[in-house]
Chains A and B, each alone.
Chain A
Amino acid sequence: MSTMNTVGRPTTPNKVESKPATLTGGRGLLQDEHLIFESDGWGKTGVDLPEPKTSGSDLGDLVRKDPIGLPGLSEPEAMRHYVRLSQKNHAIDLAIYPLGSCTMKHNPRLNEKMARLPGFSDIHPLQPQSTVQGALELMDQLAHWLKTLTGMPAVALSPKAGAHGELCGLMAIRAAHRAAGNGLRSDTPRNKVLVPTSAHGTNPATAAFVGYTVVEVAQTEDGRVDVADLASKLGPDVAAIMVTNPNTCGLFERDILEISRLTHEAGAYFYCDGANFNAIVGRVRPGDLGVDAMHINLHKTFSTPHGGGGPGAGPVVLSEALAPFAPAPWVVSGEDGFNLVEFAEDEAEQAFGRLCAFQGQMGMYVRALSYMMSHGSDGLRQVAEDAVLNANYIKARLSDVMSVAFPEGPCMHEALFDDEWLKGTDVTTLDFAKAMIDEGFHPMTMYFPLVVHGAMLIEPTETESKQELDRFIEAMRALANAAKAGDVDRFKGAPFHAPLKRLDETRAARQPVLRWTAPEGSNIAAE
């Protein structure tokens, strides 16, 4: 017997087994939403503007005769459009995000509050320096934290992203070799850069962009750099090696000291990709490992936002040997306060140039320093510890149903699985990831690193509670068991419950439609 409420109406609805498609395309209280260009507000304006006082135009025949082709929306229409779109998206503010710091970790709201202080948010790069002393001091403090945490003597703050930081590091290395007479156009050029097979794609791309020939270094069975292969490829023609540590397989490069010793013996520089610094911050100083240059993605380790692809910040720390080549600008402090040095005045300064017009991403500097100061050095150490602990918890609790790519020993901040366990199920890594969406979880990184077949790379980050990790793990276990039990239909057509179903990624890549055209029969003026 069903329960009744106070007016005698049953409180439990009749259970309906089948789920009919809705008549409008809406789902629950979520509205179907079209492109903004397909709204019907053509010719409409959201605000009343007075007629312009001047009449006529100096443009003569050049005056535009066709409509400009932009839809008109009122304020609530514009807001609803974007809020509806945001409801179709996943965000770290909704649930665990197993892409991890690679994309974005939790952004503490304190950072946002600090970045919105008018003294930081309402200033302009061309203001007199005497009026932005606080901002310059903040940059100086951020530089101090970055140098202290990495054990490196210099830092270039201005690079705008990780890959931009790689470019900065490699350009400093190129400048150092040129100064030593081994430039790319010299008689004894150092023109090669060694990159392990598991590297981020940006590493070889950066080296090639700077003018170097990329040589691959093999990987050992247990997912680390093959030191013997590295040693055989080092020589007087090698400019640098680029190693990620912890590497993209989520493993600490246990021979890192030997790698750095061999590299320096060969006269090359050691570039470290700092993408995975989150796993070791506060515990390992890259300077102690012999690193000469390393970029730090502020969004990965220091919790700055990364939504919509930016704005990014990728400061680069530099060793004693590379410090003279750091790009302008940099902050110095003296008796008359803080000063942003825009041009190297001293002849000893060998700055290779600059990477952007002004000082870099001020808003990201504020957020990163806010994160550092609110955690303190002990808190940052705990960040690394918890990030590693969480990844190992996931690895341990899934290792009996999924296959761990490198089972020996603990992982760092990422748990890496291959698709060996899916063999014979007719379910692929892609199918599995799509089914995760139906269960309410954003997929992890798939098919990367390339050296692991059907890779599934899970990075929970340090902020997930045990309850949230358990919720994720139970969903993964249920899906894994379903795949093994032959419930293939659950995977092949997934996602069934997302606003858009399985997309034809192949056709999208082969025949991309890059231009919007007005729907057939509409009165919209296509431009």
Chain B
Amino acid sequence: MRFTKDHEWVKVDGDVATVGISKHAADALGDVVFVETPEAGKSVAKGDSFAVVESVKAASDVYAPVSGEVIEGNAALASAPETVNADPEGDGWFAKIKVSDASQLDALMDRAAYDQFLSTL
């Protein structure tokens, strides 16, 4: 699993990346009350806002950690946004993206580097 400075995570299986927001991000947002995930077929560029997450405290954009085409959005989050708090780095995933440029993953942080980054915040 790799992380961005904007607190998204990516897990790659073949050329498909599953993306979501980190536990740190979910905790910081507080109780999530609304999630909008992208439709399949949407193409996204690294850094684009591709999903929205809203908590009782704030609304945030979620940025694509890699470029590619969305093959599935996690539709279950629409009716069960609390999954993002309960299991942010598992069932609370946002979308699966078919990665167009695998080299983009190299720039992301591994768990140890991300934890180190969090300790500087």
Interface residues of A (CB under 8 A from B): 447, 450, 505-506, 509-510
Interface residues of B in 39-96 (CB under 8 A from A): 56-58, 81-82
**Contacting pair B33 A506 (CB below 8 A):** yes
Contacts A506-B31, A506-B33, A509-B34 given; indicate if A450 touches B56 (C-beta within 8 A): no
The main secondary structure of chain A at its interface with chain B is helix
Closest A residue to B33 by CB, please name it.
Answer: A509
| Bound Cα distance from A506 to B30, whole angstroms | 9
**Contacting pair A510 B58 (CB below 8 A):** no
Given pairs A505-B31, A509-B31, 14 additional interface contacts (CB within 8 A): A447-B57, A447-B58, A450-B58, A505-B56, A506-B31, A506-B33, A506-B56, A509-B33, A509-B34, A509-B56, A510-B33, A510-B34, A510-B81, A510-B82
Closest A residue to B31 by CB, please name it.
Answer: A506
| Bound Cα distance from A447 to B57, whole angstroms | 7
Closest B residue to A201 by CB, please name it.
Answer: B59
| Bound Cα distance from A347 to B108, whole angstroms | 58
Chain B residue total in the interface (Cβ 8 A): 8
Interface residues of B in 10-37 (CB under 8 A from A): 31, 33-34
Closest A residue to B56 by CB, please name it.
Answer: A505
Closest B residue to A454 by CB, please name it.
Answer: B57
Closest A residue to B28 by CB, please name it.
Answer: A453
Cβ-closest 5 pairs across A and B: A509-B33, A506-B31, A447-B57, A510-B33, A505-B56
Q: Which residues of A contact B33 (CB under 8 A)?
A: 506, 509-510
| Bound Cα distance from A167 to B86, whole angstroms | 40
| Bound Cα distance from A510 to B77, whole angstroms | 11
16 interchain pairs, CB-CB under 8 A:
A447-B57, A447-B58, A450-B58, A505-B31, A505-B56, A506-B31, A506-B33, A506-B56, A509-B31, A509-B33, A509-B34, A509-B56, A510-B33, A510-B34, A510-B81, A510-B82
Q: Which residues of B contact A505 (CB under 8 A)?
A: 31, 56
| Bound Cα distance from A506 to B34, whole angstroms | 10
| Bound Cα distance from A510 to B84, whole angstroms | 13
| Bound Cα distance from A506 to B82, whole angstroms | 9
Q: Which residues of A contact B82 (CB under 8 A)?
A: 510
Q: Which residues of B contact A447 (CB under 8 A)?
A: 57-58
| Bound Cα distance from A509 to B59, whole angstroms | 13
Q: Which residues of A contact B56 (CB under 8 A)?
A: 505-506, 509
Closest B residue to A512 by CB, please name it.
Answer: B33
Q: Which residues of A contact B81 (CB under 8 A)?
A: 510
| Bound Cα distance from A60 to B5, whole angstroms | 68
Q: Which residues of B contact A509 (CB under 8 A)?
A: 31, 33-34, 56
| Bound Cα distance from A506 to B29, whole angstroms | 12
| Bound Cα distance from A450 to B57, whole angstroms | 9
Q: How far is the CB of A393 from chain B (nearest CB, A)?
A: 29
Q: Which residues of B contact A506 (CB under 8 A)?
A: 31, 33, 56
